[in-house]
Each structure stands twice: as structure tokens, then as C-alpha cells.
Structure 1
Amino acid sequence: MSASLLRLMAEDAGDLDIIGAAVQDALVRVGEINFDRKARRFTVMINRFRWEAAGEKGPYERVRSALSFDSVLGVKSRRVRQDTDEALASLLSLGFIPEEEPPGGVVRLLLAGGGEIAIAVECLDAVLVDTGPTWSTPRRPDHEQG
């Protein structure tokens, strides 16, 4: 399928909300989360559900994407499996909690099952890039409790 690939940047909380909507329900493999302390960059490779192309009845698609944050001061995680690189999690939401003194703050990635990654940043500098290609997926993510 020929699909237009996203390339989004965020420098404030409003921009990050747009990226957050695009990455909701992305699948994350623990082994594809990386924090490069020297470069001060946090990167995660994801299998992103293409909400922008999803109708009510499909067809549905996912695309390989890279989500990165620069100017990272530190990263903390809780309830994220560390015992295997193959552990898979679903990204529920992405948000920004600003410090009292701008422009710094904490980016929070909330994962299904209660996992969380907190990324302390000097300033908000995020990029989401679809690296392609897209592929079909049979299900649309569903948030109904059932």
C-alpha cells in the first residue's frame, strides 16, 4: 500500500499532544528502547497504528516508526520488563509535565499494564518519524473494558 509517512516535531506540550495521538496504541519491544547518555537522546522504535488512515471498518495498518527526545537529562522506568528484550508493551499515552521554570520538564510514556517511562528533559525536543513500510493488521485497538 502506498501511504504517506508522518514526520512530526514537538517543541511544546501542544505539539507533543499531536505526537501522542499519533503514537497511541503503538507496540513497543523493550529491546528497542535506547537512552544514549553521551548524546542525551532517548529513542524508541515502535510499530505505530496508523490512526490517521483508519476508518471504522478498516482496512487497518501499522508502520515502523522512530520516536526520539533530545536534551535528555535522565530516564526512569517502573513496571517495565527488563528480563527480556522481546517483552512487548502497548503505549497508551504520552504527556509532558513542565517544570516550574520553563522550558524543562518530564515526558511520561504510559504503557498498558501500569508501566511507565519518565524522561527528564532540559527542553521539549521530540521527533516522530515513520520509517516505513506500512503493513495490514486485522484489528483496530479497542479501549472498551469488556
Structure 2
Amino acid sequence: MSLKLIASDADDLRIVASALQDAILRVGDIEWNAAQRFLTLRLSRFRHEAAKAERIEAGLRIDGVTAMRSQAIDRSHPDAFLVLLSLAFDVGDAPSGTLTVTFAGGGALQLDVEALDVLLADVGDGRRTRHRPDHAVS
């Protein structure tokens, strides 16, 4: 079963973030269209909701993006991989605010948005994987 989720408030975003935890993407699969004010990420998300260990291709679209800043992401290496950890929204002058996409290793995208307008959609079928995310605390 494929997911299609929309987030327009912080509660919705927590659900989208949980579906995206441990998603893998290439730096080159981050696309910001400044003229049309949207950002897309093409990623391979781990299907935490599936009984078997699977990944599925997915797209994340964030609309109403007025500015984007990145931290510890080297855009000159488009084939480098990032692992998505979380999404968080800090309300500014409501409904606008800053959406932060955090990656393992300290990387982050900070997006100034007019309002929270996020769409996550799976594409295609899941595929089995032998690699299950491990969040053991040491």
C-alpha cells in the first residue's frame, strides 16, 4: 500500500516526518524552484509501517517556499547521500514560519514558508531490503 499524505499543521507534519524518518536521498535530488516557490525531494523511504523490511521511492513537495538555507550539505557533490532524520515547523508570523529538514551528520535545510503546505507521495511499488535502520542507543 502506497502513502499519500498532506501536512498543513504541526500535527500533520509529525505524521509525515514519521513516515520519512530514515529516508535516503542524493544531494542532487534536492530541487528548489525559487521562481515558483516550491522545493521537492526525491527519496527512498523505509516503510516503517510495512511488515517486511522494504523501501519505496517517494516524493516530498513543499509549497510556498520564499527562502532556503542549507547547513553542512555540499551541493557540489550531487551523488552524495543524505539520511533524513526529522521535519520540524517553527511558526513565525502565523501562518508563515520556518520548516527545518534535518539530516544525519548535522546537515539541514531551513525553508521560510508562507504556510505549512507539504505533500508526501509514494511512487511505484516497495522493494525488499536487508538493511533495516538501527537506532540503538549506546
Instruction: Verify same fold: TM over 0.5.
Output: yes
Shift of residue 136 of structure 1? 0.7
Aligned partners of 1:131 and 1:109: how far apart in 2? 21
Give identity over the alignment, percent: 39
Q: CA RMSD in A?
A: 1.0
Aligned partners of 2:22 and 2:120: how far apart in 1? 15
Aligned partners of 1:30 and 1:133: how far apart in 2? 23
Shift of residue 83 of structure 1? 2.2
1:127 is the counterpart of 2:119: yes
Report what 2:83 is aligned to: 90
Moved over 6 A (4+): none
1:79-114 Cα shifts (integer Å, max 9, x gaps)? 012221100010011111111x21001111110000
Aligned partners of 2:34 and 2:25: how far apart in 1? 21
Report what 2:31 is aligned to: 34
Among candidates 108, 116, 134, match of residue 142 of structure 1: 134
Q: Which amino acid aligns with 1:97?
A: D
Aligned partners of 2:66 and 2:131: how far apart in 1? 37
Aligned partners of 1:140 and 1:85: how far apart in 2? 25
Aligned partners of 1:18 and 1:39: how far apart in 2? 26
Shift of residue 72 of structure 1? 0.6
1:74 is the counterpart of 2:67: yes
Q: SS at 2:28's partner residue? A: strand
Aligned partners of 1:36 and 1:42: how far apart in 2? 6
Q: SS at 2:18's partner residue? A: helix
Aligned partners of 1:135 and 1:23: how far apart in 2? 16
Shift of residue 143 of structure 1? 1.2
Report what 2:11 is aligned to: 14
Shift of residue 28 of structure 1? 1.3
Q: SS at 2:5's partner residue? A: strand
